[in-house]
Amino acid sequence: MKKKQTTKKYLTVKQLFLFTGFLVVLVSLSFGLYQTYAALTDSDQKRNEFRIGDFQTSIEEEFEPPKTFEPEKEYLKKVTIKNTGDQESFIRVLSLPILSKKQPNGSTTLLPVTIDGPTPILSIDYNLNDWIDGEDGYFYYKKKLIKDERTTNLFTKVKMNQATITEDYIDVLLSFEVKVEGISTTKYAYRDAWWGGEIPSSNPSLEIDKQLKKQTINESL
């Protein structure tokens, strides 16, 4: 009985030793995996911060919304984009005019706005010498912007056309929602971002691509 008890005690110590060794290996592996994960996470975070920090833009506009938006009267509205980042970028801008009207009950109604076709509600003097209407809601600047450079004005004046409005447009308010996107000038980042990596096959996207691709730079540079 005494011998059996000794053997039993010996096996327990051995098992404890093996179990302790297993824990050490497991902790080491876990620590190694944690270090690897942390390194990858830190790398991703730094890379994302780098991308965000490098392609910054600011919208600079000269516009004072009129208290009453009268038809057949031209209102000054200048919109330019400045590259406030550290690298060159291509620019596209979404600029949506908004006509709203306050109702007697205090609510606000949005009225239809058209700027194209035979009977547009608004006339806007878009600068199509330096910008291309992508017909997807965006206007694309033909030139890349270097650091601290500004685009030319996208437009300068806006007018509501008397002949195409109804009495619902009396006392409407005019505002604009402007969104800008800046993208790297490396080959072919703008295609990936704006057209899913595809080369456009028809205008106006094809013309935009022709203008931008000759200004791209190689990633290795």
If asked whether residues 192 and 134 sit together in one domain, one would say yes
Residues 24, 126, single domain; the answer is no
Structural domain ending residue among the three candidates 12, 38, 54: 54
pTM over 0.75: no
Query: Residue 90 in 3-state DSSP?
Result: strand
pLDDT tens digits, residue range 126-152? Answer: 999 999 999 999 999 999 999 999 999
Same domain, 28 and 67: no
In a domain, 219, yes or no: no
Is the domain of 44 the same as that of 90? no
User: Looking at the predicted structure, is the pLDDT value of residue 9 above 50?
Assistant: no
pLDDT at site 66: 81
Do both 41 and 128 map to the same domain?
no
pLDDT, average across residues 53-67: 78
Q: What is the pLDDT of residues 159-192, one digit of tens each?
A: 999 999 999 999 999 999 999 999 999 999 999 9
What is the pLDDT confidence band of residue 61, given thresholds at 50, 70 and 90?
confident
Residues 47 and 61 in one domain: no
What's the CATH number where 123 sits?
2.60.40
- Residues spanned by the domain of 138: 55-213
Same domain? For 60 and 3 the reply is no
The CA radius of gyration of the chain, in Å to the nearest whole number, is: 31
Report if residue 220 sits inside a domain: no
pLDDT for the residue numbered 218: 76
Enumerate the β-bridge partners of residue 57: 83
State which of 9, 36, 54 marks the end of a domain: 54
Kindly state the percentage of the chain with pLDDT values over 70.
74
Distance (Å, whole) CA 148 – CA 88: 9
Is there a single domain that holds both residue 49 and residue 73? Answer: no
pLDDT of residue 219: 59
* Last residue within a domain, chosen from 54, 69, 95: 54
Q: How many domains does the chain have?
A: 2
Round the average pLDDT of the chain to a whole number and report it: 80
- 97, 190: one domain: yes
Length of the chain: 221
The answer to whether residues 13 and 90 belong to one domain is no
Question: Do 45 and 59 belong together in one domain?
Answer: no
Q: Are residues 60 and 48 in the same domain?
A: no
pLDDT of 88 higher than 60:
yes
Strands 78-83 and 173-184: unpaired
Most confident of 6-10, 63-67, 149-153: 149-153
Structure tokens at 195: 């057209």
Cis peptide leading into residue 104 (ω within 30°): no
CB atoms within 10 A of CB 182: 23
